[in-house]
């Protein structure tokens, strides 16, 4: 479904998935949706996030230490979509995890999770 904002600003929230845990990420994401976030960027933790600042770098490391990967983020997106149909859900990732997951596998999983 296309995102339509009727000429108004949109509230975009970013979460590094898996920091501090996947369950906490899910609860935070649902709270953001319930509070009116228009779009959620679901950050995939990455081992070398050089394009990110120190806060996201540390969050990524904590999430990786907890075992969170792209598959977990896609499953979280699927669960969030069940909670809400209207909020935009975007996977925010470096290309490396997507290539490792496989482009076709990623596209299929993203479609099944109903990502935007």
Q: Two tokens at 87?
A: 């909020």
φ/ψ region of 35 (left if φ > 0, alpha if ψ in -120 to 50, else beta) reads alpha
Find out whether 74 and 109 touch, Cβ atoms under 8 Å. yes
Q: Which of 23, 48, 52, 116 is catalytic?
A: 52
52 labelled catalytic: yes
d(CA 68, CA 66): 6
Q: How many helices (H) and strands (E) does the chain have?
A: 5, 3
Q: Which of 38, 41, 75, 116 is catalytic?
A: 41
Active site residue ranges: 41, 52
């Amino acid at each position: 479904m296309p995102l339509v904002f009727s000429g108004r600003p949109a509230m975009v929230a970013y979460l590094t998935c898996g920091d501090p845990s996947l369950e906490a990420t899910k609860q935070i994401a649902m709270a953001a949706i319930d509070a009116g976030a228009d779009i959620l960027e679901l950050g995939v933790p990455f081992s070398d996030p050089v394009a990110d600042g120190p806060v996201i770098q540390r969050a990524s490391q904590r999430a990786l230490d907890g075992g969170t990967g792209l598959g977990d983020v896609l499953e979280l997106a699927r669960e969030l979509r069940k909670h809400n149909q209207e909020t935009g859900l975007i996977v925010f990732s470096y290309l490396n995890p997507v290539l490792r997951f496989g482009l076709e596998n990623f596209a299929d999983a993203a479609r099944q999770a109903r990502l935007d």
